[in-house]
Amino acid sequence: MWDMKSTPVRSWLNEHIPTPSLGRDISSEQHLTQPIPLEEITIPTIDQEEALTSDIGSTWMTPIFYYLDNGVFPDDPLEAKKIVKKSFGYNVLDGWLYRRSFLRPWLKCITLEEGMAILIDIHKGLCGSHEGAQTIANKVLRQGYFWPSAMDDAKELVRKCKKSQEYNFIPQALVEKLSAIRSPWPFY
């Protein structure tokens, strides 16, 4: 019987695995020992500083985020008053804006574009069954995302969807064939 204490792993390997020959011909590996030319560049190769540009000013979250994170107000006093009032419903956590709630988990605030992508995915994605606006808007909230016009955007999406227009007025008609979905928990 093999005894772990009396037979170290190292000696077992030496006995059973052949070691490579040390007297091999290294003439074919001479190129590996050639010096590599290095050049130190002290002058910048471009005149302007590179910077990431993003259009953060156009999102609905920006004024609320700036006020909560840095205490920065908009210049317009009326607008500043609105932002202060609105910001009571939000909070910044780890650099991200969240919609506060007392009865359910906080919702992660996202841009309109991101929200529309999620709505489209839920409505007519892989498992989308062209459900109504209220249903898909609630599904987005249950997934933990928020943007102020979620319900209006859902209505607009359903209104413009061709398949939803065709099947909306036929009772019990399914737009797509039903597909089996595996649930991680029963009755979820």
Q: Nearest Cα to 106, choosing from 90, 94, 118, 117?
A: 90
- Around Cβ 90, how many Cβ atoms within 10 Å? 19
Encoded tokens for 70: 């840095």
Q: How far is the CB of 144 from Zn ion (least distance, A)?
A: 23
Instruction: Pick the closer one to Zn ion by CB: 104 or 163.
Output: 163
Look up tokens 């529309």; give the residue: 116
Residue 112-131 contact track with Zn ion, rule CB under 5 A, x = bound: ------------------x-
Look up tokens 């009772």; give the residue: 171
Instruction: Pick the closer one to Zn ion by CB: 79 or 166.
Output: 166
The one-character DSSP state at 126 is T
* Size, binding site for Zn ion by CB under 5 A: 4
Q: How far is the CB of 168 from Zn ion (least distance, A)?
A: 8
Q: Which of 135, 163, 174, 176 binds Zn ion (CB under 5 A)?
A: 163
In terms of residues, how long is the chain? 188
Q: Binding of Zn ion at residue 164 (CB under 5 A)?
A: yes
Q: Binding of Zn ion at residue 64 (CB under 5 A)?
A: no
Q: Nearest Cα to 84, choosing from 61, 55, 64, 104?
A: 64
Choices 17-25, 52-60, 79-87, 163-171; region in contact with Zn ion by CB under 5 A: 163-171
Residue 128-147 contact track with Zn ion, rule CB under 5 A, x = bound: --x-----------------
Using a 10 angstrom Cβ sphere, with 0-12 exposed, 13-18 middle and 19 or more buried, the burial of residue 141 is middle
Distances (CA, A) of 144 to 39, 115, 119: 52, 11, 13
Q: Which of 119, 140, 150, 161 binds Zn ion (CB under 5 A)?
A: 161
Q: How far is the CB of 137 from Zn ion (least distance, A)?
A: 14
User: What does the alpha-carbon distance between residue 62 and residue 90 come to, in Å, rounded to a whole number?
Assistant: 12
Could you tell me where the beta strands, DSSP code E, fall in 46-120?
90-93, 96-99, 107-109
Q: How far is the CB of 119 from Zn ion (least distance, A)?
A: 11
Q: How far is the CB of 64 from Zn ion (least distance, A)?
A: 32
Instruction: Pick the closer one to Zn ion by CB: 99 or 130.
Output: 130
Site residues (vs Zn ion, CB under 5 A):
130, 161, 163-164
